[in-house]
Structure 1
Amino acid sequence: MGSTLPYARYSPNLYPACEDAYRGSDGGCYDRPVALMSGGSSKGVTQKSGTGAGGNTQVAQDRRTVPNQLVAEIDSALTDAQADALARRHGLTRIVSQNIPLLGVTVGLFRIAGNRPLEAARLDLAGDGSVRSVQPNYRYLLQDQQGVPSEGDPAQYALAQLHLPQAHTLARGMNVTVAVIDSGVDAAHPELANTIADNFDALGSKEGPHVHGTGVAGAIAAHAKLMGGAPEVRILAIRAFGAGRSGAESTSYVILKGLDYAVLHGAQIVNMSFAGPKDTLIGRAVAATAAKGIVLVAAAGNAGAKSPPLYPAADPEVIAVSGTDAKDGLFTASNRGSHIALAAPGVDILLPAPDGKYQMTSGTSFSAAFISGIAALMLERNPALQPNEVRAILTGTARDIGAPGRDDLFGAGEADAFAAVTASSRTPAVPVVAVSDKLSQPPKAPDGNNTSVSRASDGSTPSTASDKSAANDANRPDAQ
């Protein structure tokens, strides 16, 4: 592919970093909230004179939560009128409430009236007998960083590093459903033709497609001029991120709705290319999703070496993915930590953007998306795999980079799609499609049998892009 693609140079910079006011002398965040950056310069917090440490804490809390909002588990037997009365008793206004089958509870979103401190309002509501738990409505941020387009196809290095061409001779993600909880996806983009099985707007908004959601979906499933991790996968496009103060953002309540929808609509993998603070309610939803046998993948975050762990990547049920560059170095902004499972390319990645355009972008968002794609290949090969088995195979077959053995930068190493897909099958098959001599050749495995059935989002049986599916099926080991 040449360098004549119509680049979209407007990717927002949603790189989370510590506010200067909350950075330690050594540059560390120390559990302070992340903030948004735009255009490479941080937006500091201006404080009035006379505010001390307590003022800093309140500003910090406001940065990572939606001001004056609480999310509460309330008695499911309450009618709307009774829920409104509950709110009034505690000086609140009920914004909305919804039953969440994933957790078996009803969750309400409430607004605090007047200028009461959030914690005082939380404790007051938590003391009501009709309420099981109360927490702030936390903010979540997408994990990408704007890049500058360069000559040629630097983004395509990811294919070789992950051994995706070899892996695609064994599986391409057919009959596997990946939920992408993100900003809006451009389902009309040629790279995503016949890929979006369903669209759900958890925000109830009317915003159009967004660069981040479209890019993440492309890293998973592109199949025209680009190639994603699983080009024949089905995607549930769940919009949970909308326009915020400095870019697309979401909240605990909206992400909970998105996770619930993904589970109810057959997701086998959930990609979460966003990050935020530790969140009890989302943590419970993540655990409940994993307990149903659904694979969860998340971006480690772009807050850098001094950041504390960000969530949901740091939840134990989630495969946390850090980012690498074309030379197997760590993406400078990537989070690190003992929770990192493995790494994947995330620097200068060429991906689809809305309106038929393309974007050059970086971030652990796209590292996570590649891993979700590889997991889809594994589940096509062996649908019986459980989340812990998917994790074990991915980490067990990863290519060790950095310091020998597991480390906090790359986890078990950089993912190897071919090795992971081969190890996923009870009877691995031999790849028969020629692969470029420039790619390293992993060892071949004995031949086997695997049957796949093509899919369509509308009940028909179209090809994934033009007649690519039919052409590729003819070259698959199963068809030989």
Structure 2
Amino acid sequence: MHARLATTGLLLLCAVPAGAAEPTGRHLAVMESRSASVSAAIATAGAERAGPGAPRLGIATVDGSARELAALKRDPRVEAVVPEYARDLRRVPNDPSLATAETAAGTPPGTTEQWFLARSGFPAAWDVTTGAGATVGVIDSGIEGGHPELAGKIGPAVEFGTAEGALSDADGHGSHVSGLACAGTDDGRGVAGAGWGCRLGVVKAPLLRDEDVIRGIQFLTDNGAGAINMSFGGGPPNAALDQAIDYAVARGVVLVAAASNEPDTDQGAPASQLQPNNAQDIGAGRGLVVTGVDAGDANPAAGIGPQVSLASYGFFSGSGAGPPGLLSTYTSAVTTREAQLCFCRKTLGGGDNRFAYLQGTSMAAPLVTATAALLAEVNPALSAAEKIRIVKQSARRAGGAWSPEVGWGILDAGAAVDSARRADRVLPVSRARARRSLRLKRDRRGRTKVQRVRIAWAASDPQGAPALVPSGMASVELYERRGKGPYRRVGSGRAPRGSLIRRLRRPGTYTYVSVAVDRAGNREAPALRPDATLRVRSAKKFPRRGR
């Protein structure tokens, strides 16, 4: 059985990061207590006031050299010194279709042409990332390369199985899917894409042969795709597709396949190979299988059952009311579905008629694919399995459980991105400090006295990437070694900065290593060399008294 594009038959025929904050060059000093002398601390460090601050909150706006700011940070009266940023307003793209009212008969008042982006939580996702470094791979019928909403977004492109040109699309399906994922956004025209600033990796494979699909997966994986959209399916699984799937997953790529457009429980390959009847286990699967829901959050008779990972908007109404699908980019060619009187093409501002309404699970899948690519951009340390789980866990669902109709729920891109940015995979760092040398002393009887030595540490939990939220420090462990013996743990603390007293009475070379652990359970990488070395010298011998 040949693979098929996952759009409905007759239905289809009718069918902010918050902007990048900029540093001001000033810093904010946070005092340990509101009663602490701000002026004295600033003067001691040699820094200067740079603004009124917020005295009642114990915050001073300061300016100074790196050395002066470091001195201010060391002052015991100061809790922290942090850079000041000029924040942007929340991201709201200016693409007309996000705000233009939908006029199709039967559409409820207040519905916009691209209602599905807000309902899927993308504005909240865009508050964190605009996906500028993300790449969404699309294996489909091609792409309208000259479309103003797509031309500037196309990255690596290749054609398999035909020789018509990778940047052409006689069917329109690939252009529509590509626009849903990555159409030009915040450009003041046409439509917006779910992935905002993402670029597109294009594999034109209109025959959808297994070989073409396999080569497409490999090509997109090798060319940096964070997620790959496969809005097609049907037929049995095979071992060759398995190899391609494993190749992508091992390299952190999230594969997304559309479910059937019929209420089938067997979604066909490649979907059945991504989620082989184990969708009820949230940790199972090698990708995401997406069924469709309508504006009423109901499955209108698309794929169901144990191969469905989650749902996304792919329809407006199962009754035929309202627009005939989701609005996106389209091809300039007259397509077969138009010859069959789908009346799906739409002309937007400026007279450009390369837009259309299409519906089906094919349209639901790219919203999920764009989300997975945003997760990869926000948190590059996440594995494919972790991203897949986050998308499922963050989906909106009644009762918190998996169901045959919508899987783990309906896509919530904002919740998924927020979960990804809080998934701390960055190792904490620390360093121990000690004096360099120490000479032991003797008591009046000539015995070696115990010497008290303070060993200090400083630890931090790095952010890793701009949008990430560190989990924070949990503890710091201190290890000591004498000579060439083994390291042994001699103490720990919960504060990022701390110290302990060691009581030493034996000469030798002592080395110290601190190991930080953050609240996410990440443990600092083993040290290649000691943090600090203390040489303890023998006590001087008492001079022998003459007789």
> Does structure 1 residue 151 correspond to structure 2 residue 103?
yes
Match runs of 1:43-442 below 5 Å: 64=1, 139-145=2-8, 146-148=12-14, 151=103, 155-206=113-164, 208-209=168-169, 210-222=171-183, 223=185, 224-241=189-206, 249-280=207-238, 281-302=240-261, 304-315=262-273, 316-332=285-301, 334-347=302-315, 348-355=325-332, 356=352, 357-401=354-398, 405-426=401-422
Once the two structures are superposed, what CA deviation does each residue of 1:128-165 show, in whole Å capped at 9, x if it has no partner? xxxxxxxxxxx211112325367256652211211111
Question: How many angstroms does 1:351 deviate by?
Answer: 1.0
- Structure 2 Cα separation of the partners of residues 185 and 220 of structure 1: 12
Once the two structures are superposed, what CA deviation does each residue of 1:168-196 show, in whole Å capped at 9, x if it has no partner? 11112121122101111112212224210
Of the two structures, which has the highest relative contact order with CA contacts closer than 8 Å and spacing of 6 or more? Answer: 1
- Structure 2 Cα separation of the partners of residues 142 and 186 of structure 1: 17
Return the letter of the residue paired with 1:293: G
- Structure 2 Cα separation of the partners of residues 320 and 308 of structure 1: 11
Instruction: Evaluate the alpha carbon distance shift between residue 321 and residue 404 of structure 1 in structure 2; reply closer, same or farther with a 3 A threshold.
Output: same
Instruction: Evaluate the alpha carbon distance shift between residue 427 and residue 310 of structure 1 in structure 2; reply closer, same or farther with a 3 A threshold.
Output: closer
* 1:34 match: none
* 2:456 match: none
- Structure 2 Cα separation of the partners of residues 256 and 338 of structure 1: 25
Question: How many angstroms does 1:263 deviate by?
Answer: 2.2
Question: How many angstroms does 1:238 deviate by?
Answer: 0.4
Contact 1:427 1:449 in 2 (8 A): no
Match runs of 1:12-31 below 5 Å: none
Once the two structures are superposed, what CA deviation does each residue of 1:372-399 show, in whole Å capped at 9, x if it has no partner? 1111221221111111111111111110
Instruction: Evaluate the alpha carbon distance shift between residue 235 and residue 306 of structure 1 in structure 2; reply closer, same or farther with a 3 A threshold.
Output: closer
Once the two structures are superposed, what CA deviation does each residue of 1:190-222 show, in whole Å capped at 9, x if it has no partner? 222421012200124216323100011011012
TM-score by length of 1: 0.56
Question: How many angstroms does 1:450 deviate by?
Answer: 4.9
- Structure 2 Cα separation of the partners of residues 204 and 305 of structure 1: 32
Q: Compute the RMSD of aligned alpha carbons.
A: 2.2
Structure with higher Rg: it is 2
Contact 1:321 1:340 in 2 (8 A): yes
Return the letter of the residue paired with 2:6: Q
* Unmatched tracts of structure 2, length 5 or more: 16-101, 105-110, 274-284, 316-324, 333-351, 425-462, 468-547
Question: How many angstroms does 1:427 deviate by?
Answer: 7.9
- Structure 1 Cα separation of the partners of residues 159 and 132 of structure 2: 25
Instruction: Evaluate the alpha carbon distance shift between residue 341 and residue 358 of structure 1 in structure 2; reply closer, same or farther with a 3 A threshold.
Output: same
Aligned-residue identity in percent: 29
What SS does the aligned partner of 1:191 have?
coil
Instruction: Evaluate the alpha carbon distance shift between residue 225 and residue 290 of structure 1 in structure 2; reply closer, same or farther with a 3 A threshold.
Output: same
- Structure 2 Cα separation of the partners of residues 427 and 272 of structure 1: 27
Larger helix proportion of the pair: 1
- Structure 2 Cα separation of the partners of residues 269 and 306 of structure 1: 25
- Structure 2 Cα separation of the partners of residues 163 and 178 of structure 1: 18
Instruction: Evaluate the alpha carbon distance shift between residue 187 and residue 231 of structure 1 in structure 2; reply closer, same or farther with a 3 A threshold.
Output: farther
- Structure 1 Cα separation of the partners of residues 125 and 13 of structure 2: 28
Give the stretch that moved more between structures: 319-328 or 160-169: 160-169
Instruction: Evaluate the alpha carbon distance shift between residue 325 and residue 240 of structure 1 in structure 2; reply closer, same or farther with a 3 A threshold.
Output: same
Return the letter of the residue paired with 2:402: R
Contact 1:301 1:365 in 2 (8 A): no
- Structure 1 Cα separation of the partners of residues 400 and 220 of structure 2: 38
